Structure 1
């Protein structure tokens, strides 16, 4: 394993690419929205650490008290995403990024680290089996199979807020909650908006743009959540084919 790691900060964020989408010559609204979101979180202790390559090799985490997720716990870090892709897999980069987070947590006397997972591995969530190699264990669950994994240093564990276990809303329409924390979201929402308009589908697109709103979500939430007929469906970014299947149910 070789290469340099970079932590984004207020001085370098304008010039550095974010690893999940590599900057192209054309402007990308999702990237700029993501950078703005990170910039506003840096003063809260948000960390985005990446390998200095043009590929997805990074970890993103924050103090749980400031993390935009409906999870309660004191003195924890919350991992939003740990992603190693392509030719960089199986070269120790994932272990290096996770160990950095663990060392950072211990250095700052944190009680532990937590992350969203599921009993059955789901897309858009970090690898559960990988996390368990470091000692992460399920400390809370929801009825539809999502889990909260935690690596505790002192025996204290976080938990899902009760509102996250509701998984119901009054709106019967297709409803998508989202934040601009992920650069893929802007284009995803625009495509869904266009399709629903074309097919005369009633859709409610709700931007979650404050910490309070994120903590009060009626379901698990990492930056995206889908409801239909008042029932929670997924935290995965969905495409048009998913919506077609959903309306056939």
Structure 2
């Protein structure tokens, strides 16, 4: 498999989304704008030449849009291999490239969000364990922080206190989200309109800076839905899924 680094110079020509084929789609544009603003902060987006079917996205943990304390680590935003491309070693290719790059940059290790059982839009724990990652911290909602230290004496990364006990005081449905996930550009407005039409209490909180994301009340910041103060899911929803969840 041939791979290419997406940069400011080629991002407009490259396909970067795992599921959206139209490079002009508002969802893709939203994601590309978010990526473009992160490159100067050390973000790396390495993808296969096969459109967006295989890629890894990572950034120095100090600049990651999640509430962790992981100075000196590299944080993996996403490691994705889809469909027929699974089972050919491409995940290993991408992870190996990330490891080599991170070591060259003097990082202490890697970290990534996961859970004890596979959850949508999170890494596969079986794969991480096989590659040598271990759990360094876990929030009350079961979201875990996994890490691979390059030095056995390196301090393990942890969640910030604000994210260890995901809970908010607001009632109704409250969604925290960022532009990191392209699907939000389409489906957040869908939820807002669906909630309005059906009399469902709903509020969307758009995290627009790393400072906001790093102090969010949830380990997952690209999409975290709460109901009556309690965390519900990180899975993006269309109108039908949301109405079913709300009992409508």
TM range (shorter): over 0.9
Partner of 2:48: 51
Partner of 2:18: 20
Measure the CA separation in 2 of the matches of 1:144 and 1:103: 32
Q: Secondary structure at the match of 2:41?
A: coil
Q: Secondary structure at the match of 2:131?
A: coil
Deviations 1:201-234 (A, max 9, x none): 1210111000110011111114111110011112
Given that 1:22 and 1:54 are in contact with CA atoms closer than 8 Å, whether structure 2 keeps it comes out as no
Equivalent pairs counted in the alignment come to 246
Measure the CA separation in 2 of the matches of 1:20 and 1:165: 30
Q: Secondary structure at the match of 1:204?
A: strand
Given that 1:6 and 1:52 are in contact with CA atoms closer than 8 Å, whether structure 2 keeps it comes out as yes
What is the CA distance between 1:111 and its match in structure 2? 0.5
Deviations 1:72-121 (A, max 9, x none): 11110111111111221111111100101111111111101000011221
Q: How does 1:46-85 map to 2 (within 5 A)?
A: 46-85=43-82
Given that 2:134 and 2:148 are in contact with CA atoms closer than 8 Å, whether structure 1 keeps it comes out as yes
What is the CA distance between 1:130 and its match in structure 2? 0.7
Partner of 2:98: 101
Measure the CA separation in 2 of the matches of 1:239 and 1:182: 15
Root mean square deviation, CA, Å: 1.6
Given that 1:173 and 1:203 are in contact with CA atoms closer than 8 Å, whether structure 2 keeps it comes out as yes
Deviations 1:28-70 (A, max 9, x none): 1111111010000000110111000124210111000000001
Partner of 2:178: 179
User: Would you say 1:237 and 2:236 are equivalent positions?
Assistant: yes
Deviations 1:178-207 (A, max 9, x none): 101111111111221221122021210111
Structure 1 runs of 4+ with >6 Å offset: none
User: Would you say 1:91 and 2:105 are equivalent positions?
Assistant: no
Unaligned 5+ residue runs, structure 1?
Answer: none
Q: Secondary structure at the match of 1:20?
A: coil
What is the CA distance between 1:24 and its match in structure 2? 2.0
Unaligned 5+ residue runs, structure 2?
Answer: none
Please report the TM-score for the alignment, with normalisation by the length of structure 1.
0.94
Q: Secondary structure at the match of 2:246?
A: helix
Q: Secondary structure at the match of 2:9?
A: coil
Measure the CA separation in 2 of the matches of 1:190 and 1:248: 20
Given that 1:178 and 1:207 are in contact with CA atoms closer than 8 Å, whether structure 2 keeps it comes out as yes
Measure the CA separation in 2 of the matches of 1:103 and 1:117: 22
Given that 2:80 and 2:91 are in contact with CA atoms closer than 8 Å, whether structure 1 keeps it comes out as yes
Please report the TM-score for the alignment, with normalisation by the length of structure 2.
0.94
Q: Secondary structure at the match of 1:170?
A: coil
What is the CA distance between 1:148 and its match in structure 2? 0.6
Deviations 1:116-169 (A, max 9, x none): 011221111011111111100001011221111000112321000000023111
User: Would you say 1:151 and 2:148 are equivalent positions?
Assistant: yes
